[in-house]
Structure 1
Amino acid sequence: MPKPLKIEGMSIFIVVWLGQLVSLLGSSLSNFALDVWVYQQSGSVTQLSFLILFTTLPSVIISPFAGVLVDSWNRRWVMILSDSGAALSTLTLAALLVTGKIQIWHIYLASAVISSFSAFQWPAYSAATTLLVPKKYLGRASGMTHLAYALGQLFSPILGGVLLGIIQLSGIFIVDLGSFVFALTTLLLVRFPHHKVTRHQQINKTSLLTQAIYGFHYLKARSGLLALLLFLASSNFLVGILQVLIYPLILSFASSAQLGTIMSLGGVGMLTGGLLMSTWGSGRQNYINIFFCFMLLNGFSMIVAGFYPSIFMLNIAAFLFFLGLPFISSSCQVIFQKKVAPDVQGRVFSLKNAISGSCLPLAYLVAGPLADRIFEPLMTVNGALAGNIGKLIGTGPGRGIGLMFIVFGTLTMLMTITAYQYAPLRLVEHELPDIVTS
């Protein structure tokens, strides 16, 4: 085993971040390739939706319990074991593919296993960041984390489409395995500060379920944090519905090449937001105000996207929407990192991920029926709303989905304005003391 390097604080975070960046790029590339491969092999949107469900649902279910263990274990070793488990699952898929024995249910199972390991990985990473990074740089560190995610979102479709034709799915698996090895090497080269076990853990040395529930009680006692989490979950539900419908909306009047251009510009927006947050996110910013401002921008972007079938307008909407995501996610993350005690961050962050992510499977399930059975029929040439709203946004294929974007964008803005009136949420940074003092 490599001897740990004698580096501290922000330097350790940068080393770990670099490893996780490479790992995330490899995983994003592999996930994109698997989505394409499953759809090509099955020709079924349902099979693809099942893959998305198996990729998200296990993490949602396991997260509250994983957080308890993250608080009790060495967070560096949690990340090492999580990366190792995900790498082993990818290696198994690669072996099945090479031997010609792979079936779609193998991919479902492997995706569920990888999702389960991610339930440990991300809370450990977030909680470790709080220990490694000085308080004034938490915004910058969170921006860097979301910058890594943005790079994966931007480059995985571009590289995945090219590499699938050159090195095939088996070659992409090898690239992904190499990224895991790099991430594991960086983790083996560093040491994390030990987090102290305080009364929060001593009180709750009971059953795993009791300790998991403690994360909810911890948030319930801090109404501003609980309100922020519930607001985020509600927003994710609306965004999850539109996430399913963005491709049908664009393809209702544009080509697949134009779809690629719009999504790539969205990736550029996310990359820009991540870069800005990673360079600007230090000092004494009011993160809750940043959160609210960019939530309003996201709602406005949804309205713009649905209002008129225009490539130009969709390019603007995509750029603005994805530009705001790093600011929203980073601001929320920094608030939680500052206000939640380090010894319970694992279970609280896991609960945060579980609650905010639990809305996505429901969103995926209702998106199709809402579009096909309600909104699209309303906006046909002879639909019930053709004579009024149809005169503003047009009628025909895709216009019902466009109306959904307008409605949900408006709801997002109204939710944001309403949430801002709730004092414990608006004043969460002032009323709750900072746990992190360095």
Structure 2
Amino acid sequence: MRTFIILWFGQLVSSIGSSMTYFALTLWVWQQTESATAIALILVFYQLPQIAISLFSGVLVDRISRKHLLIFSDAAAACCTISVGILAAFQALQLWHIYLIATIIGCFGNIQSLTYSTLVPLIVPSEHHTRASSLGTMVNYAAGILAPALAGLLYPRVGLLGITGIDVVTFAIAMVTLFLVTIPQGDEGVGSREWGVGKEEEVSKGKKLWQETTFGFRYIAVQPSLLAMVIVMSAFAFLNQMGEVLYQPMILARTGGNAEILGVVVAASGVGGVIGAIALSIWSGFRRRTVGMSVGFIGIGLSELALGLGQGIGLWALTRFGASLHSPLIFSSYMAIWYAKVAPNLQGRVFAADYLIGIVIEASAGLSAGLLADRVFEPGMQAEGSLSSMFGAIVGIEAGSGIALLYMLNAIGMIWVGLISFRVKTFREAETLMPDHGVTSGVE
């Protein structure tokens, strides 16, 4: 676990800097536009290029030094961050600049995220996979505790240039941790012998690029239980991503753009995620991982339903805490199943396929959330709007009420996904699949 902890620390520090930049950009965009769509488009432009590059990033991860990929992607992202600060310093920053830079960072972020996701089974014994995954989910939530507070405090004083400068320093720390450790490839990891790594590799040599890039999709398709798990997770991810896009504009709209209140709520969300990850690293989750996923779906749905109904910083902070508390249970359980069922030297391509599906789902959700909020629900919940007579008594008719209504509908959808998943037999069988060392013969 020593190598993992060193890498984890570097990513934790880097994530704090990146989250500070994203939070500051959210404030900047809201100040310029007061549009939920404009904020949602930052994430959409970050995700869209990943749809194309994911077809090839899995092959890169399985074929090229993972350490070199991490160093290259971190350095490229740091250069993009610096460009934001410079443009802001010369008062030349425009909305399209942010979208363009988000697109570039998305390309390298895809490679970085996918590479890190394949490291756990290579450097961590199988009995600690869930704990390692839970620590991985802690990174973003831990950043969520410090980043909003720091960015909210420093942004008025140092501007985007200062915030991006801090981000670059955190990138440098992450780079140092990469140079301190040895990162094996798929045929050198701690689980390589038990998986018989090398056999599948020989099968895939000499195949066309198209067969390589589509390998992960075919691998998932020939195993019905894994396919069912991906479908269930995708349904939840679509609804959850809409909620993630909506809750910050909703709070800004309902508080007159108060960055301090939003910072407290985002920090509370981070605390919930960290506590959830720590608890899971001690407890190790449900024995049946699919049960953990279903419970997590329902827990997040109930928390977000209360958030949409609620008013005031206290209830918003409490409900975001509750939603984030359940998140590590979902994603750690999900990844533990993948780590157990896919050989290390195939994980780049298989995880890339799953990652691509997730990107398409989340990008669609982000764009849908912004458009529905700005063009349907917000106008509909105004005093003379078509929805105000039906739902005004529940969410009010002031600014942000339409976003709150849409947020609640998504939360109800997540609860239903959780309840239905308990009844889907194929989904529940995903974790009972045994590693099939000959599965590649059917998909190569």
* Equivalent position of 2:229 in the other structure: 228
* Equivalent position of 1:164 in the other structure: 155
Partners of 2:295 and 2:374 lie apart in 1 by 33
8 A contact 1:296–1:413 mirrored in 2: yes
Confirm whether residue 267 of structure 1 aligns to residue 258 of structure 2: no
Partners of 1:148 and 1:19 lie apart in 2 by 10
Partners of 2:38 and 2:310 lie apart in 1 by 32
Partners of 2:10 and 2:218 lie apart in 1 by 34
Confirm whether residue 81 of structure 1 aligns to residue 82 of structure 2: no
Q: CA deviation at 1:53?
A: 2.3
* Equivalent position of 2:144 in the other structure: 153
| 1:38-437 map, 5 Å | 38-40=29-31, 47-94=38-85, 104-196=95-187, 198-204=198-204, 205-250=206-251, 253-254=254-255, 256=258, 257-281=260-284, 285-309=287-311, 311-372=313-374, 374-375=376-377, 393=394, 395-397=396-398, 398-433=400-435
Q: Deviations over 1:21-79 (max 9, x none)?
A: 11222222222233334555677665544433222222233123101110111212211
Partners of 2:404 and 2:81 lie apart in 1 by 38
Q: Deviations over 1:158-202 (max 9, x none)?
A: 111222233332232222222222212211121123322634343
Change (3 A) 1:418 1:259: same
SS at match of 2:368: helix
Change (3 A) 1:87 1:311: closer
8 A contact 1:379–1:399 mirrored in 2: yes
The letter of the residue matching 2:344 is P
Partners of 1:350 and 1:182 lie apart in 2 by 27
8 A contact 2:69–2:111 mirrored in 1: yes
Q: Which moved more, 1:97-106 or 1:213-222?
A: 97-106
Q: CA deviation at 1:247?
A: 3.6
The letter of the residue matching 2:17 is G
Q: Which moved more, 1:152-161 or 1:165-174?
A: 165-174
Q: Deviations over 1:263-301 (max 9, x none)?
A: 33222212211222233338x832221111111111112
* Equivalent position of 2:2 in the other structure: 11
The letter of the residue matching 1:277 is L
Partners of 2:403 and 2:30 lie apart in 1 by 23
8 A contact 1:140–1:278 mirrored in 2: yes
Q: Which moved more, 1:41-50 or 1:199-208?
A: 41-50
Partners of 2:167 and 2:380 lie apart in 1 by 45
Structure 1 length-normalised TM: 0.86
Partners of 1:12 and 1:97 lie apart in 2 by 38
8 A contact 2:148–2:264 mirrored in 1: no
8 A contact 2:292–2:329 mirrored in 1: yes
8 A contact 1:147–1:278 mirrored in 2: no
Q: CA deviation at 1:362?
A: 2.0
* Equivalent position of 2:441 in the other structure: none
> How large is the RMSD of aligned CA atoms in angstroms?
2.9
Q: Deviations over 1:279-324 (max 9, x none)?
A: 3338x83222111111111111222223354655433322211111
Structure 2 length-normalised TM: 0.85
SS at match of 2:118: helix
Q: Deviations over 1:317-341 (max 9, x none)?
A: 2221111112111111111111111
8 A contact 1:236–1:357 mirrored in 2: no
Unpaired stretches in structure 2, ≥5 consecutive residues? 188-196, 438-444
Report sequence identity in percent. Answer: 33
Partners of 2:411 and 2:64 lie apart in 1 by 42
Change (3 A) 1:226 1:98: same
Change (3 A) 1:40 1:208: farther
Partners of 2:43 and 2:173 lie apart in 1 by 26
8 A contact 2:291–2:422 mirrored in 1: no
SS at match of 1:60: helix
Q: CA deviation at 1:100?
A: 6.5
* Equivalent position of 1:6 in the other structure: none
Unpaired stretches in structure 1, ≥5 consecutive residues? 1-9
Partners of 2:252 and 2:419 lie apart in 1 by 32
Partners of 2:307 and 2:81 lie apart in 1 by 37
SS at match of 1:167: helix
Q: Which moved more, 1:419-428 or 1:10-19?
A: 419-428
